[in-house]
Structure 1
Amino acid sequence: MKKWFTVGFLLLATLMGGYGIWILNQPEDPYLARQVKQTAPSEDNFLLDFYPHISKVSRPNEWYHFPIPLGDTGPNRSLYSGPNQYPFFCMTVDSDLGQPVVDNQYGNGVPVFNDDKQIVGFSKDCGLPSQYTYYEITDTGIHNVTAESVKNDRHGLLVRVEQGTINRFIYAIVMPVGFDDLPYRNISSNWNKKLIYQFNGGSGIGFRQGRLSAVSLIKNQIEQLKLGYAVVSSSGNKTSYTYNMLLAEDTAARVKKQFVSLYGVPLYTVGIGGSGGGLAQYLIAQNGSGILDGLIPLYSYPDMITQTTYALDCDLLNNYFTFRAKDKSYWRDWENRQRIEGMNAINDFPQKAGFMQPINQLKAGFFPSLPTGSSECINGYFGLSSFINNPKQGFLRPLFSDDVLEKTQWSYWQDLVAVFGHDEDGFANSTWDNEGVQYGLNALVHHEISVSQFIDLNRKIGGWKSQTAMAQEEIVMPFGAKLPIWLTLWGNQNISDMSPLSPEVAPRHIGSIHAMNQAYRSGQVFIGRVQLPIIDARHYLENELDMHHMSASFYSRLRIEQATGQHENQVIWVADKDFNPTTRAFEMMDKWLLAIEEHTPEGILKAKPHELTDTCFDKNGDIMASGHDVFDGKWNNRMPGECVKHFPMFSTSRIESGAPWNGALFKCTRMSIDVAVERGVYGDIDITPSLDTLKSIFPTGVCNYDAKDLGRPNDI
């Protein structure tokens, strides 16, 4: 063993030495010049009282008079989503829009420079004067043009793009215009009176304004722009920059107000967007904002916060399989891991940065081995626990000075601290909880793992340490910021160790009931109360171990059924990765929305095109199967439908622990081990020889998934 310690430390020393030589030869990071070195003081701002649920609460009257005058910045504080978050990194430069407006001389925010590269002031709220320009779309691409340059040289589709800031985020309005409309800001003879709201995805923890590229926005909706649709978006509606859905709604409502104040009320507004941009549509529609009339969520989840429940299991499980398991060789078969993780895992699949595993094994004193496969937990969710759950981590790029880094809590929970509250140490409350969760229960019941393996897994897996006790990852970047080497793989330094009081058991994590209640009330959780037209579309990506697993669309369906008693307003499409169903979805959504005579649940269902139903498509766009039962499977306790036979569906670690398929459960009601045995939780497995061990692992009992979610308020 000493030999491996020596080899490991020599390897680490070599890496660190190489890193030192590398760093001396690198150009200065462009973010350093704009680094935030001082945090602006927080100011009070109105926060909506969302009791009992945000969908039942009226929004306050708008105090800002839209439209924003050209050359002015829009409102820099939200209407009803609480105080501004600081520090806040401005990204107008990253969006090719120039520097933000100077709003203070106190050193708060990013520095603003003159032409001689001297600091003339600072910007804490990242204001950008409202402005517009033109782009011409031709066979050769998308070209930024002036009104004068296209008057006598007309080749393609012309769009007017207005950009500025609302709620400190960059907004954009893309309007197809005629050449006779050029002198005017708010006239368009080419608009078909239909509006698209573009939402975007990514994982975000706040603290950044975000990028919004006009060219990217045009590219995303180029086919619809050609048909006369207008498009609006905001960096505040890209979840790379915030998952605060209250702020996202507040921002989207104001961006739409800006649009309506210029062009009038559209015939309808349809949402589009993938991943986080899909779940944002579900939540904004559910929460009663009136912003959207129809939804086209792509690669969607029901919401972010219930996704964290199983996503934050991933690193716990990988830590167990790699470092803590008694029989590590068993878990080198990735099909065995899949039975516990639920999401797909494939032997011989190339793992991203798999070389980090032996480095970490050496560091921990284990015999090193390269991974022989990968899983969605790794391919899709690697690093998530550090980024969203660790308040000490921050960003890899130097957006903020060391002093600001030290004084700020960087986490998804902190992004919602105004809603969730904080603990006695000042750290934002977290909803994540795994008390009573019996990992691998289904595999045990189905005789896929032994009692010994089940016991070892649940005894050692542990939970995440408290926010206060967490430490930053140990990371070196010898090959550049795009390929960091993690010396604390799977966040292992932040996972609970064996308890001194019970050396055989790693304690679990107990989440905040208050935060869970607030998550429900504030509309961060999708509870299914949406009756607008929905075409939920995705590519089938399970074989690529992509994080956008197909089953997520059906978690939403189950919640809609539970809330409304039906799901006919939600159509699910799954396509081969080589066919893009988005254009077809727009066509069907247009037909559906234009047929609605009464905006009631009955009127919406009556207007639904008869040919619009659950469907799967092959790579050529041909229908493989369609109908109400084509996606039947384990999620609804039926035999596999035709689409599921073509596109197999996977689950999650919590489902494989016995939890319901809808995934809407923060904290389980618990029952004693004795009661669990009486109720047949362990099937035909004789668990009696291990009762005392199980009771030591689960001193407060195990999850009773027939009972309610303790985190959900009784009045919702």
Structure 2
Amino acid sequence: MNQTLRACALALAVAGPAWLLAGCGGNSNPPAPLADISVKALSSPADFVTAGNVLLGVDLPAGISPAQVKVSVNGSDVAASFGAGAKAGSLVGVVSGLPAGKSTITVTAANDALTQNHTGSLAVTNVSKTSNVLVAALQPLICRTAALGLLPSTDVDCNAPTVYSFLYKSTDASKTALLPYDPSHPAADVAKTTNDQGVSVPFIVRDERGVIDRSVYDIAVLFDPAKPWTPAAPQSGWNHKVLWRFGGGCTPGHVQSANTAQAIDNAYNALGKGFAVATSGLSVLGNHCNTVLSAEGVLTVKAHLATTYGNIRYTLSDGSSGGSIQQHGIANNYPGLLNGIIMSGTSFPDPWILASEFADCHLLRNYFSAISPGLWGSAAQQAAAMGKPDLSTCMSVDTNFFGLGYAFEKVGYDPTMGCTFPDNAAPPTFSGTMPAPGVYDPVTNPGGVRCTIQDALVSILGKRAGDGFANRPYDNVGVQYGLAALKSGAISLAQFIDLNQKIGGIDIDNNFIPQRSVADTAALAPLYKSGQIIDARQLGSTPIIAYQSYNNQIFHDTFYNWAIRARLMAANGNATNQAIWTFLGSPGTFADDAFTVMDQWLAKIEADAGTGTPAAKVAANKPVAAADACLIGGSKVTDAATCAAQYPNYSDPRIVAGSDITDMVIKCQLKPINVGDYGSAVTADQLAQLQAVFPAGVCDYSKQGVGQQANVPWLTWL
């Protein structure tokens, strides 16, 4: 038998007569295969498959039935794991056991007339683990799986067997929380719930808890333990939507963590509506203070969720404080992981707008209280230099943070603080000790682990050549503290000069020094490039609802959402994707409304089959209810001027010093002193003093900061 006939005989034996007729029969010139089968990775971007598993979606051309389809990975047939998708002519299935690196997934089929072959393919890149995917893991990590509801860890990455527990909603209305449920002894008072797709099921929730990416994750979803569930055939209680929960803080910890409570608290009745609710210890910024690591946690856990439970329609998220930092950062720097984000109460753009303010606050309080108290006896004048209505913001972060016994500024900059904060606990509750080499001490343990905000980002910012410490971006060279207060007449020129002469800086161990702080310039470009300071370029394609408690004290300042607004405007020319709702006291219905409106917004975008850009679809499908608003006297007001008058914004020390509200400059470019900035009565002696304070010039906020550049999405830092 010649080689051609041997190949045809083999095809006939393997694939049956359809393939023989299509490729080996009496037609000596069979038609070329059509590359018209669409193959998509549904669980993660194709270049970021993790743990060897990927959920695939296959769209078939007309006339092709699933029985005619072959799916192969590097030559091995895996078609048996696929089933019918949600829409006609589609398949969905999980490909498992992918080797590390690149693989090609190929789909082939013949149409019913047996006259034409069809094909499609997808190249995927697999990382055969769930850590060190986007960013190098911070070392060391203190395992504590047993304290987090799992068995003792089995390896250095703190892995432990996954556990499943069940909860249920009682028909007794007085029992508002979900109760433990034992499938072997079913409760008699299980309530029913109707999800947002109109499907009525028992209100029983399964909570899956395990370790992914060295942190404990939770996935909670309506789940009947008496029925099967496969990714190709999920139970009907799930609406194929995900609510991701983010926690607060910003602490460079080294302790394994979880965020279980937010998975099962049934916020917004999301579980009852059919959402899967997911979270991870990496979704609490108070555990690591690294938004790239936050993104990696979402990527790896969502991939597991999709390959275990089925295709995800879209993911919306919520979070306050550090939870808002993660949402802004992930949506901007890793677009697609989160489809719509809710700032639930308080909001910040990114960690470094805060880190700079905290250090400035630390310096200002030291100057006012210890260096020149006689010149600054007026609290109102101090507040004017800080950009605040009073001194409470700086007091809250620089003394006794929320009455918890430590200064939050030190958590960011003191290398001996923050190492063992678990679960955003404050003050720390972890009773263990840091493993060798222990926590840094400049005298007794100079080679120990340093716990500062820059050390949490060391794989991104790099290390200093001289001492091997993480590069630090903080800089106040050329900053004219109190400039706007001087121009407004709130402080005198003598106060302004004295302040800028004596404010000084902080060294790498957070000690006061008389000279200004100078950034390690190698840190600046990656700080911007990685999106630790976001420029909002990609953020404009994500719906945002920020319902904010009006606050210009205790550092959760209201102006931060407007800083995001300004960044969106600067990057994209509009901010139609963002709604800001402001309230004082009770939020009324804002919390539940934010969830409902965001879900409606995303559903409309999902249904939009047009060819517009993602940003255009966000704008075109924005619900009327997603407009700026505020609560005044319990009534919802949408007039911008009325809301602005009721809820005025303040700022921070850098804005007072001349920065605009985008507040993105960490280290400024310099320009010569302009005597006109200081009023008409500047004496020659005063001008000489100012020139001595700023020998290289003052900040030029009309220019970008040193190293400032566009964020680059989906960067890895390994």
TM-score over 0.5 (shorter chain): yes
Q: Which amino acid aligns with 2:504?
A: G
1:145 is aligned to 181
- Does the 8 Å CA contact 2:53/2:307 hold for their aligned counterparts? no
Deviation at 1:253, TM superposition (A): 0.8
Structure 1: runs of 5+ lacking an equivalent = 1-56, 104-123, 358-376, 471-490, 497-505, 631-640
1:101 is aligned to 2:115: no
1:698 is aligned to 2:666: no
Q: 1:453 to 1:256 in 2, by over 3 A?
A: same
Q: Which secondary structure does the structure 2 equivalent of 1:165 belong to?
A: strand
Counterpart Cα distance in 2 of 1:219 and 1:703: 48
Q: Which amino acid aligns with 1:672?
A: P
Q: 1:589 aligns with which of 577, 591, 598?
A: 598
Counterpart Cα distance in 2 of 1:438 and 1:101: 52
Q: Which amino acid aligns with 1:606?
A: A
Q: 1:577 to 1:221 in 2, by over 3 A?
A: same
1:420 is aligned to 2:461: yes
Counterpart Cα distance in 2 of 1:246 and 1:304: 12
Q: 2:342 aligns with which of 291, 296, 299?
A: 296
Map 1:355-366 onto structure 2 (within 5 A): none
Counterpart Cα distance in 2 of 1:315 and 1:75: 45
1:391 is aligned to 415
Q: Which secondary structure does the structure 2 equivalent of 1:314 belong to?
A: helix
Counterpart Cα distance in 2 of 1:91 and 1:344: 43
Counterpart Cα distance in 2 of 1:77 and 1:398: 28
Q: 1:549 to 1:715 in 2, by over 3 A?
A: closer
1:206 is aligned to 253
Question: Which shows bigger deviation, 399-408 or 204-213?
Answer: 399-408
2:708 is aligned to 712
Q: 1:412 to 1:571 in 2, by over 3 A?
A: same
Q: 1:535 to 1:714 in 2, by over 3 A?
A: closer
Deviation at 1:671, TM superposition (A): 1.6
Q: 1:519 to 1:68 in 2, by over 3 A?
A: farther
Q: 1:531 to 1:261 in 2, by over 3 A?
A: same
Map 1:335-374 onto structure 2 (within 5 A): 335-345=380-390
Q: Which amino acid aligns with 1:701?
A: G
Counterpart Cα distance in 2 of 1:591 and 1:235: 29
Q: 1:378 to 1:619 in 2, by over 3 A?
A: same
Counterpart Cα distance in 1 of 2:412 and 2:147: 23
- Does the 8 Å CA contact 1:314/1:378 hold for their aligned counterparts? no
- Does the 8 Å CA contact 1:320/1:461 hold for their aligned counterparts? yes
1:658 is aligned to 658
1:578 is aligned to 2:586: yes
Deviation at 1:289, TM superposition (A): 3.8
Q: 1:586 to 1:205 in 2, by over 3 A?
A: same
Deviation at 1:193, TM superposition (A): 2.2
| The structure with more radius of gyration | 2
Q: 1:535 to 1:253 in 2, by over 3 A?
A: same
Q: 1:715 to 1:89 in 2, by over 3 A?
A: closer
2:239 is aligned to 192
Q: 2:617 aligns with which of 594, 603, 613?
A: 603
- Does the 8 Å CA contact 1:314/1:381 hold for their aligned counterparts? no
- Does the 8 Å CA contact 1:59/1:80 hold for their aligned counterparts? no
1:19 is aligned to none
**Number of positions where the alignment pairs a residue of Structure 1 with one of Structure 2:** 558
1:65 is aligned to 53
Deviation at 1:656, TM superposition (A): 0.8
Q: 1:279 to 1:351 in 2, by over 3 A?
A: closer
Counterpart Cα distance in 2 of 1:433 and 1:198: 33
Q: Which secondary structure does the structure 1 equivalent of 2:265 belong to?
A: helix
1:134 is aligned to 166
Q: 1:236 to 1:286 in 2, by over 3 A?
A: same
Map 1:479-498 onto structure 2 (within 5 A): 494-496=511-513
Counterpart Cα distance in 1 of 2:626 and 2:144: 41
- Does the 8 Å CA contact 1:81/1:250 hold for their aligned counterparts? yes
1:542 is aligned to 2:584: no
Q: 1:350 to 1:715 in 2, by over 3 A?
A: closer
Q: Which secondary structure does the structure 2 equivalent of 1:161 belong to?
A: strand
Structure 2: runs of 5+ lacking an equivalent = 1-44, 55-93, 97-126, 193-202, 421-427, 441-447, 713-718
Q: 1:571 to 1:350 in 2, by over 3 A?
A: closer
Q: Which secondary structure does the structure 2 equivalent of 1:536 belong to?
A: strand
Map 1:201-600 onto structure 2 (within 5 A): 201-213=248-260, 215-219=261-265, 221=267, 223-298=269-344, 299-327=346-374, 330-331=376-377, 333-345=378-390, 383-393=407-417, 394-395=419-420, 398-401=431-434, 404-406=438-440, 407-423=448-464, 424-465=466-507, 467=508, 470=509, 494-496=511-513, 506-529=514-537, 530-542=539-551, 545-580=553-588, 581-596=590-605, 597=608, 598=610, 600=614
- Does the 8 Å CA contact 2:151/2:161 hold for their aligned counterparts? no
Q: 1:169 to 1:709 in 2, by over 3 A?
A: same
Q: Deviations over 1:545-591 (max 9, x none)?
A: 23211100011111111111111111111122212512101111122
Deviation at 1:226, TM superposition (A): 1.7
Higher relative contact order (CA 8 A, sep 6+): 1
Q: Which amino acid aligns with 1:712?
A: Q
1:626 is aligned to 638
Counterpart Cα distance in 1 of 2:183 and 2:402: 50
1:615 is aligned to 2:633: no
Question: Which shows bigger deviation, 74-83 or 252-261?
Answer: 74-83
Q: Which amino acid aligns with 2:249?
A: G
Q: Which secondary structure does the structure 2 equivalent of 1:520 belong to?
A: helix
Q: Which secondary structure does the structure 2 equivalent of 1:231 belong to?
A: strand
**Percent of aligned pairs with the same residue?**
27
Q: 1:392 to 1:579 in 2, by over 3 A?
A: closer
Deviation at 1:80, TM superposition (A): 2.6
Q: Which amino acid aligns with 1:404?
A: G
Q: Which amino acid aligns with 1:335?
A: A
Q: Deviations over 1:603-659 (max 9, x none)?
A: 221111134211112464x20x215xx1xxxxxxxxxx2112212211101111111
- Does the 8 Å CA contact 2:547/2:594 hold for their aligned counterparts? no
Counterpart Cα distance in 2 of 1:438 and 1:381: 32
Q: Deviations over 1:269-304 (max 9, x none)?
A: 112111111121111111244111111123121111
Counterpart Cα distance in 2 of 1:603 and 1:82: 31
- Does the 8 Å CA contact 1:573/1:616 hold for their aligned counterparts? yes
- Does the 8 Å CA contact 2:534/2:711 hold for their aligned counterparts? no
Q: Which secondary structure does the structure 2 equivalent of 1:150 belong to?
A: coil
Counterpart Cα distance in 1 of 2:698 and 2:519: 16
Q: Which secondary structure does the structure 2 equivalent of 1:312 belong to?
A: helix
Counterpart Cα distance in 2 of 1:531 and 1:509: 34
Q: 1:542 to 1:642 in 2, by over 3 A?
A: same
- Does the 8 Å CA contact 2:339/2:542 hold for their aligned counterparts? yes
1:169 is aligned to 215
Alignment RMSD, CA only? 3.1
1:121 is aligned to none
Counterpart Cα distance in 2 of 1:686 and 1:379: 44
Q: Which secondary structure does the structure 1 equivalent of 2:246 belong to?
A: strand
Q: Which amino acid aligns with 2:467?
A: D
- Does the 8 Å CA contact 1:165/1:171 hold for their aligned counterparts? yes
Counterpart Cα distance in 2 of 1:400 and 1:194: 40
Deviation at 1:711, TM superposition (A): 2.5
1:78 is aligned to 131
Q: Which amino acid aligns with 1:125?
A: D
